[in-house]
Amino acid sequence: MTNKPNTEETKMEKIVSLTKRRGFVYPSSEIYGGVSGVYDYGHYGILLKENIKNLWLKSMIQMRDDIYGLDSAIFMHAQAWVASGHVDGFNDPQVDCKNCKARFRADHILEDHGINADKMPIEFINEKLDELRKAKKLKCSNCGSTDLTPAKTFSLMVKSNFGSPVDTITDENVMYLRPETCGGIYLEYKNTLDTLHPKLPFGIAQVGKAFRNEIAARQFIFRTREFEQMEMQYFHDPKDTKELYEMWKQIRWNWYIENGIPKEKLRFFKHEKLAHYASEAFDIEYNFGFFGDSFKEVEGIHARGDWDLSQHSKFSGVTLDYYDEETKKRFIPHILETSAGLARMMLMFLDNAYTEDLSGEEPRVYLKLPPNLAPVKVAVFPLLKNKPELVAKAKEIFNFLRQDFMCEFDDNGNIGKRYRRQDEIGTPYCVTVDFDTIEKGAGVTVRDRDTGKQERVKIEELTKYMEGAIT
């Protein structure tokens, strides 16, 4: 039976349902009741994530001469996070509901009331909360109670007993799971310089796990406690910052357009309140349909100055400057950063691709993913599973196509149900072996996911046909 779209569900609910039903995303440890803000990625989820990751790496490393790859360790020397300011300053303001015990970010509560409290001191936040409390506007969004605590500082750093027994952890020997991946890039700047001898400007790019003890991890995989970042740090002469910053804004904007995101769903957001080390910060925002048609950040582009390398040089005692052979000057390079969350980007592509076709007798749901991002490129079917000659030919075709494409063989259920399954995971093309294939040498039928149209293609031309259609 076809899964009909439920018009009463929100788009978020529909996507969450589809991604679990079709093996993209599962709640972590679900048989034990789950872990808030943590998700596991199933078969199609990892394929989609890997396709996004590989597109990003290709654009950053394969197609450029000035960026080098890195995979730095999750665990780093604890002093690195003191130098970066994370130990003392990587915090969020927390508010608790005394009635239902729910936790909230105080700045998000204020934002819901039109008050911008981003990066504001705890005193300012509590002052504004008190104003809402006196006006009887401060309520728990979970249970409606007005009994909320004042805001308190909540560290986002995740501590570990790495290398030490639990009962001997002190401030001196504590280890952290990294809260962002760029720290490893800064610590490997010198090794990259010494071994690869790049000339300024140059970048270091990596994809890796990061961990944040979020107060209220919510909105599915948009905000989680364990996630992957795709970050690039671009080291350069400070005199070139403005020109290079505009260059990277345009490069990153174009990447989204080139990979199927309509430009009307994107915008730049300029940060007016900057971190003390930053000279400029823009976000690329995407209009997620399930957040009430509101734009949310998918990538940040920041001019970070020389603060990061200067701090690590100061705390480590190691010189992290650069010698310019042309000018005969030594200086600490400035940094431009592009930073995106992989799961958040995956959610963006799923949101953009989710399509309900209500025009036919049987409504269908399909993911209109660009073919190069689709988890499975080609599905191969025998028209009937109880005809050995059809099954054998279909498996033969499947086995030679899978050498070049991620393919799937399916003979379960009638052909219509198989099409619907492949539509829901975003497979762009389905190949069917029928009796004309066997008896008349008429090739196979190739069905297009988006249009539903079918055409005959000779078996010997299938690989070439798919190469042209998918790339």
Distance CA 334, CA 459 (A): 56
pLDDT digits 0-9 by tens, 144-196: 888 889 888 877 778 887 766 666 555 666 788 899 999 999 999 999 999 99
Q: What is the pLDDT of residue 6?
A: 56
pLDDT recorded at residue 387: 93
- For the chain, percent of residues with pLDDT exceeding 70: 94
More confident residue, 3 or 241: 241
Tokens 């390398």 sit on residue: 309
pLDDT score for 292: 64
Min mean pLDDT across 17-21, 146-150, 380-384 is at: 146-150
Looking at per-residue pLDDT, the higher value among 218 and 260 belongs to: 260
Spatial distance between the Cα atoms of 19 and 356, rounded to a whole number of angstroms:
15
Task: Give pLDDT tens digits for 207-230.
Answer: 999 998 877 667 899 989 899 999
77-100 pLDDT tens trace: 888 888 887 777 677 788 988 888
- Give the mean pLDDT of 437-451: 93
Higher pLDDT, residue 91 or 465: 465
Residue 1: predicted pLDDT:
38
Instruction: Label residues 189-198 b or e (16+ Cβ within 10 Å = b).
Output: bbebbeeeeb
How far apart CA 53 and CA 345 sit, in angstroms, is: 10
What confidence score (pLDDT) does residue 144 get? 84
Report the sign of the C-alpha dihedral through residues 396, 401, 406, 411, in that order: negative
Residue 204 has pLDDT above 80, yes or no: yes
Find the mean pLDDT for residues 225-248: 96
Domains in the chain (CATH in brackets) are 11-75+166-352 (3.30.930.10), 91-155 (3.30.1600), 376-470 (3.40.50.800)
Could you tell me the pTM of the whole model? 0.87
Give pLDDT tens digits for 338-373: 999 999 999 999 999 999 988 777 789 999 999 999
Give CA–CA dist 251/60, Å, rounded: 10
Q: Counting runs of H as helices and runs of E as strands, what totals does the chain give? A: 15, 23
Question: How many percent of the chain have pLDDT more than 90?
Answer: 65
pLDDT score, position 359: 76
Query: Per residue in 25-70, pLDDT tens?
Result: 999 999 999 888 899 999 999 999 999 999 999 999 999 999 999 9
Handedness of CA 28, 29, 31, 32 (dihedral sign): negative
φ, ψ of residue 409 in degrees (nearest 5): -100, 135
* Mean pLDDT, rounded, for 431-458: 93
pLDDT at 2: 44
